[in-house]
Amino acid sequence: MEVIRSSHHSAFPMEDISRVGEARRHAVTLAMRAGFDEVKTGQLAIVVTELGTNLIRHAQRGTLLLAVREQAGEVEAISIDHGPGMADIARSMGDGFSTGGSLGAGLGTVRRMARDFDLHSSVPGGTVIVARLAREAGPKAAGALEVGAVSVPKTGELVCGDAWAAAMADPSATLAVVDGLGHGFDAAEASAAAIDVFAAEAARDVTQMLEKMHLRLRSTRGAAVTLLRADASTSRLRSCGAGNVSVRVVSGAYDRSMLMQHGTAGLQMRRPEPIEQDWPQHAMIIVHSDGIGTRWAPEVVLPVLGRDPTLAAALLFRDHSRGRDDATVAVLRRRM
């Protein structure tokens, strides 16, 4: 079983060209934490410079999100904007099709340098690009299920009070999304404690895990928690939770929410009661904290159902982040 632990994204709004340099310097720091060599670090710098400069020159309200997953030796760069979108994606992906003032590499070069690359664009809605570079050469191991997430602190905070983790054990996966009460360091302490329990107890039933989290979080300010186990072999979901971390299962023909119990892990919580439901073949599972509004239409994510799940997470963050709290979206889907 592989346990993937969250690392929050640092957000760099691309308001002027100086922000590109800030993002690049931060990316180099993340590269050191991921164990990149000099060549790989240089490639990451090119990717971040190109994505950031494109946002400055072409986009409206563009933001670059950067995160490291030290355990996997990966750095992730996500470019999001609110328009005008790419009218000709194929032309935009050509080498050398770049913006004035950038390195002239173009998105085609970004795609080649990244181990993982995916893009969604609509006119006039805007563009989301996901690029990941990894310490080790070659493609990552491909399991039956795939998870992606965006987790961003409240503006002005140094840490994120939300956290997420996934335990991958083909053909099943268990997902946790935790929202520490409030924001800042105390909220981050609570969510980190819950994820520690998850990492140690991920093989247990979701109800048992939640009970253990409740006990562990008594020394913290508490947290809203949702736990979900998805089994691709049986096409069934089993979930439980306390508080307002939302679960929604979406496909082109299916849209259903799983309602969690009221309460707060670590403070006051009833005995966990599991919820079970079907998991349609092409549906993605979306779990998000209350930093994301709940009144989003499935059409937001339908264009990327079969794509990198981080694209769906980034689209929801872009279009439905409340902007006044930590915000986390985790997406789980079958690998097509």
Domain ranges across the chain = 7-134, 145-334
pLDDT at 95: 60
Rounded to two decimals, the pTM is 0.95
pLDDT at 105: 58
The pair of structure tokens assigned to 190 is: 């609570």
Closest CA to 79 of 39, 49, 113, 108: 49
Domain 7-134, what fold? Heat Shock Protein 90 (3.30.565)
pLDDT at 103: 42
pLDDT tens-place string over residues 244-266: 999 999 999 999 999 999 999 99
For the chain, give the number of residues.
Answer: 336
Could you identify the residue written with the tokens 């736990």?
Answer: 227
Give the strand order in the sheet containing 2-5: 2-5, 162-169, 172-180, 223-231, 236-242, 275-278
pLDDT at 104: 43
pLDDT at 6: 84
pLDDT at 102: 41
One of 3.20.20.70, 3.30.930.10, 3.60.40.10, 1.10.357.10 is the CATH number of 145-334, namely 3.60.40.10
Q: Which residue positions in the chain have pLDDT lower than 50?
A: 99-104
